[in-house]
Amino acid sequence: MHRRHLIAGLALAGLVAPSARATVPGEGLFSHLIGEWDVTGQTRGRATATGAVVSRLFGGPFIELLIKDPTGRSPYEARVFFGMDVKGGLVVHWLDATGGESSKTLGFGRLEADAAVFSFAYPDGTFRDRLSYDAGADTWRLRIETGDEASPVVFSDWRFTRRAR
């Protein structure tokens, strides 16, 4: 039996000790991201308007950011999973409508006081992402850059505004 299956079975049986549970990514910072969002900005120089829903998975060790246009006008959809490694580093899985090839690359980074900073080292170039929180306005900004760090190219710059209930 594979080790992963054994651990899953033990966890289901309630036999895994609490110390074996995964670290929750940025409880303080990511707790402000949980909820439903309207997302506006630009991607590759074009206007972007979509939506996002953020929730905890598996009791907390992952945060899922689901990006999907609630109106159905945009075909783009992504599921972004944020987790922590044993040393406190951020691990990010970005799965989207572009397919499996781009999902082979994991993102790695760190949490700062008001931001999650991470990058994806794709074979054709690195994407550097900064997801920052403005506590005063209760908004988020996701800025993604590519190219040389000295003269970056903005891939996307999105603002997340909490959706009215």
For strand 62-68 and strand 139-146, is the pairing parallel, antiparallel, or unpaired? unpaired
Residue-level pLDDT at 158: 97
Rg (C-alpha) for the chain, rounded Å, is 17
Burial status of residue 141 (CB atoms within 10 A of its CB: 0-12, 13-18, 19 or more): middle
Query: What is the reported pTM?
Result: 0.82
What's the helix, strand, coil split of the chain in %, to 5?
15, 50, 35
Residue-level pLDDT at 48: 92
Please say if the pLDDT value at position 19 is more than 70: no
Spatial separation of the C-alpha atoms in residues 89 and 4, rounded to whole Å? 21
pLDDT digits (tens, 9 = 90+) for 33-73: 999 999 999 999 999 999 999 999 988 889 999 999 888 88
pLDDT digits (tens, 9 = 90+) for 94-132: 999 888 777 788 999 999 989 999 999 998 889 999 999
Q: Decide: helix, strand or coil at residue 37.
A: strand
Residue-level pLDDT at 13: 44
Query: Residue 9 contacts by C-beta under 8 Å, 6 or more apart in sequence?
Result: none
Q: Considering the chain, what percentage of its residues have pLDDT values greater than 70? A: 83
Structure tokens at 136: 């005063």
Show the DSSP H helices in the chain as ranges.
Answer: 3-12, 27-31, 100-103
Please say if the pLDDT value at position 136 is more than 50: yes
